[in-house]
Amino acid sequence: MFSRFLLLMTACVFLLIVAGCSDEPPSVRVHNERATKANVQIKSQSGNTININDVGSAITTNYQDLDVGAHVVTAVIQDESLSPTVGFNAEENTNYTIVVVNSTPPSLRVDSSGK
Q: Count other C-beta atoms under 10 Å from residue 26's C-beta.
A: 24
What residue segments make up the domains of the chain, in order of their start?
Answer: 25-114
Length of the chain: 115
pLDDT tens by residue, 10-44: 444 443 444 456 899 999 999 999 999 999 999 99
Domain 25-114: give its CATH code.
2.60.40.2890
pTM for the complete prediction?
0.82
The amino acid present at 38, given as its one-letter code, is A
DSSP string, 36-49: S-EEEEEEETTS-E
CA 31 to chain centre: 11
Radius of gyration of the chain (CA): 20
pLDDT tens for 38-78 read 999 999 999 999 999 999 999 999 999 999 999 999 999 99
